[in-house]
Amino acid sequence: MDSTPASSGIPDATARNKTEIREFLVSRRGRISPAQAGINPVGGRRRVPGLRREEVANLAGVSVDYYTRIERGNLSGASEEVLDAIAGALRLDRSERGHLHDLALTANNGRARRRQSQSGTRVRPELQYLLDAITAAPAHITNRAMDMVAANALGRAMHPDLDERTGTPPNFSRYIFLDPRAHSFFKDWHRAAETNVSILHREAGRNPYDKRLSDLVGELSVRSQEFREHWAAHNVRRHYAGLKSFVHPVVGDLELTYQTIELDQDPGFTLTVYPAVPGSASAEALQLLASWAASEDSGQINARS
């Protein structure tokens, strides 16, 4: 994808789709050695890392000319069988296969996908009720562009540095790449950065007409060398469950599990909850964080009185 801010026009989105197809396939081809693919290389010194186009074509059972056309960014008309064959040849994992299929869907049906025009920034009241009912764990809702569009009390308290300086609503990607405080907050900042970009990359492939998302990618590509390097890797991942570690400026170390759910009734929104293991030091820290958040809210109310 280009490193300049993207506009919302159809030609730009189509061009971004072709560029992403090309760069994604080239990057996946470059990481696989002939030995890994079970190929005995023929000839002398290889000019390219990884597999050659003709080797991928042979593994996928398609002609070299056809694969070359695809790798140049033209997935229009590619069947499910062809996509799966290419995914198998390139040893794509589940997330990468999904990304390839999303790119093909856009190439084949771009006009229909324009209905996913922009990341929403407001949630239904019922979703805020749901968040507020979660009292023992931080919880928040994000959109495709990684804006935190809603949170419960602990969710807001967990991210005290995520404020209007990152945008309105506050944005996790800008915080990670543009706010120096993020390096202290995330115990493994590089992992957090890689995860964030891999999510953005997947969303950009699924929703190339989302102007808020494409503008964010363009902005960060201009303002952050680290973002550019991560984006150029073309990694895509699903991040629905796991363990994350933070160093909160008030309560210190937090090691929290997380569960992420895509809200089917509210396309583009994702709910993430961060429970601690019961009885753990992090569970005690969350209780302290809840008390601190309550005192902060009380202080703000008194200041306004």
What is the percent of the chain where pLDDT is above 90? Answer: 70
Lowest mean pLDDT: which of 104-118, 131-145, 154-168?
Answer: 104-118
* 3-class SS of residue 142: strand
- Beta strand ranges found along 152-249 (DSSP E): 241-248
pLDDT of residue 119: 83
pLDDT of residue 216: 96
In this prediction, residues 70-96 reach a mean pLDDT of: 93
Q: Predicted confidence band at 17 (pLDDT cuts at 50, 70, 90)? A: confident
- 8 A C-beta contact, residue 186 and residue 176: yes
Task: Report CA torsion sign: 53, 57, 59, 60.
Answer: positive
What DSSP letter does each residue of 250-262 carry, written as one string?
TTEEEEEEEEEEE
Q: Taking each helix axis from N to C terminus, what angle separates 225-232 and 211-223, rounded to the nearest 10 degrees?
A: 120
Q: Predicted confidence band at 4 (pLDDT cuts at 50, 70, 90)? A: very low
pTM of the predicted model as reported, rounded to 2 decimal places: 0.85
Beta strands across the sheet bearing 252-262: 148-151, 139-142, 270-273, 252-262, 241-248
* CA 32 – CA 61 distance, rounded (Å): 17
pLDDT in tens, 196-229: 999 999 998 888 888 899 999 999 999 999 999 9
Structure tokens belonging to residue 29: 């081809």
Backbone angles phi, psi at 225, to 5 degrees: -65, -40
Structure tokens belonging to residue 187: 């115990």
pLDDT of residue 205: 86
* CA 163 – CA 170 distance, rounded (Å): 5
In this prediction, residues 15-33 reach a mean pLDDT of: 91
Lowest mean pLDDT: which of 31-45, 92-106, 261-275?
Answer: 31-45
CA-nearest of 141, 174, 167, 175 to 155 is 141
Domains within the chain, CATH numbers bracketed? 10-113 (1.10.260.40), 125-304 (3.30.450.180)
Q: Which residues contact 155 (CB under 8 A, 6 or more apart)?
A: 131, 138, 139, 140, 148, 274
Residue 16 in this model has a pLDDT that exceeds 90: no
Q: Predicted confidence band at 13 (pLDDT cuts at 50, 70, 90)? A: confident
